[in-house]
């Protein structure tokens, strides 16, 4: 009688080279970009010494680049926000590293705590704000690298397109 429970693997499956994929040097799928963000988040020594807080504007630092993608580190003091925006032709992964951020969309509002990730496609409109009393830090992966963003009014009507090739003003 054959059933799924009759299947057994003899020996070490890792010794069968044609079943293994070689590790990639750079991410290329949504899951790999989210994994990259999680691995950076898990290694505080990689990002924590770089963080700065600025009371007048959100601080940001490009942490890494690769073929077709960028990784940015952002800090948010209480009250700072991005304004409603999209990321032009870029997809992204937003990961909260420290503190709590609030994401607002047409569908509602959600609190994003450390470890929370938001994966978004081109054209996704949101606003990210630090509504908490403590500073927050977030990590952003953009693919392709962030080159433009559309800012929206509170009613989500297009307001302007900004070149963001030098630095993100977004979340």
87 appears as a binding residue in the annotation: yes
- The structure's pTM equals 0.78
DSSP H helices, 27-155, are: 30-42, 44-47
Query: pLDDT tens, 31-88?
Result: 999 999 999 999 999 999 999 999 999 999 999 999 999 999 999 999 999 999 999 9
Q: Is pLDDT larger for residue 68 or for residue 1?
A: 68
pLDDT-wise least confident of 9-23, 123-137, 139-153 = 9-23
What is residue 98's predicted lDDT score, i.e. its pLDDT? 98
CATH class of 26-163: mainly beta
18 appears as a binding residue in the annotation: no
Q: Give the whole-angstrom CA distance, residue 28 versus residue 5.
A: 35
Q: Give the whole-angstrom CA distance, residue 19 versus residue 153.
A: 51
85 appears as a binding residue in the annotation: yes
């Amino acid at each position: 009688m054959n059933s799924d429970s009759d299947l057994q693997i003899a020996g070490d499956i890792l010794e069968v080279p044609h079943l293994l994929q070689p590790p990639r040097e750079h991410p290329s799928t949504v899951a790999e970009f989210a994994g990259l963000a999680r691995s950076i988040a898990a290694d505080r020594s990689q990002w924590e010494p770089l963080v700065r807080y600025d009371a007048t504007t959100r601080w940001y630092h490009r942490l890494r680049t690769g073929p077709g993608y960028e990784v940015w580190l952002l800090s948010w003091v209480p009250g700072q926000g991005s304004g409603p925006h999209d990321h032009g032709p870029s997809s992204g992964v937003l990961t909260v590293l420290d503190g709590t951020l609030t994401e607002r969309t047409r569908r509602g509002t959600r609190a994003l705590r450390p470890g929370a990730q938001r994966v978004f496609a081109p054209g996704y409109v949101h606003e990210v704000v630090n509504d908490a009393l403590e500073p927050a830090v977030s990590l952003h992966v953009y693919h392709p690298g962030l080159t433009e963003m559309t800012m929206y009014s509170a009613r989500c009507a297009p307001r302007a397109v900004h070149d963001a090739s030098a630095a993100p003003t977004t979340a």
